[in-house]
Structure 1
């Protein structure tokens, strides 16, 4: 069984913000497979489906970003999912908009959603897709920037990265993560 988690904040107010790009990838996967988040438990909305005989969970934590691990930890414990079969998708200020980077482990890099995930999983060794949102080019507080929407001139790049991340998730359903990482990081 595999678990794919998109990080973000719940509610319409945050729907298209940079910080919710992880949710946007889950929404893209739901759209492609014509699935719905039909379960609410563990402080999250999720679905449990089958892809080529393997069970797959898609999860959007409803805890707000900084407490994401409070949804992820209990869900993977309940379903007895190995941490190596968990993939977390989130925004990254240090990558330009439109770029994605896959990793098998690492620190939180100042990202509070990942910090919470590490705390609740008890390890830094879980698969991730970092999606670039770039850094602000004007003097704006980072919190306002990440909670802002992509301007028109970045929407195409953001959409491309969401699609690439969804493609990587689908590839991971069929191949080992290190192969997917080699393919999508090149």
Structure 2
């Protein structure tokens, strides 16, 4: 089984915010793969299905971003998913808005959701789909920025990035992740 986890915050007030691009991507995968997120357990909303001959788990932790590991670790244990089958989708301040970047491992880079995952999983070695949200301008606080919604001008770039992330997730079902990473990281 391959687990795709989108990081974000639950609740209407956080829908379509920069910090929720992981949730948005999981929602798109859910539609495209016809895997409803109709199960709740371990502080998460999730669904399972088969895509390209692979059993897939789609997950949206409902613990709030900073506690994402509290959902993901128990789900991985419950479904006996090895770390190399975990794919995490999340926002990244260090990438320009609309850019995606895939990585096989690394530090949390200041992202509290990733920090929680590393802490609960005991390892930073899991595949990542980073979606650029850019940095705040004009002295805006980071917390206000990530919890804010995309501007009208940013929306086409984010829609394209989410679509590219969906395509990368699909590719990760049938190709080695390093190959997928090389294919998608060179796209601009």
TM-score bracket for this pair, using the shorter chain length:
over 0.9
Q: CA deviation at 1:33?
A: 1.9
SS in 1 for 2:77: helix
* TM-score, scaled relative to structure 1: 0.98
* Aligned match of 1:89: 89
CA distance in 1: counterparts of 2:62 and 2:9, whole angstroms: 7
Q: CA deviation at 1:72?
A: 0.5
Cα offsets for 1:6-63 (capped at 9, x unmatched): 0000011001000000000001111112321011001100001112332100000000
Q: Which residues of 2 match residues 78-117 of structure 1 at below 5 A?
A: 78-117=78-117
RMSD: 0.7
* Structure 2 residue 67 is the aligned partner of structure 1 residue 77: no
Gap runs ≥5 in structure 1: none
Q: Which residues of 2 match residues 20-39 of structure 1 at below 5 A?
A: 20-39=20-39
Q: CA deviation at 1:174?
A: 1.0
CA distance in 2: counterparts of 1:38 and 1:153, whole angstroms: 33
- Tell me which stretches of 4 or more aligned residues in structure 1 moved more than 4 Å: none
Gap runs ≥5 in structure 2: none
CA distance in 1: counterparts of 2:56 and 2:91, whole angstroms: 22
CA distance in 1: counterparts of 2:102 and 2:78, whole angstroms: 26
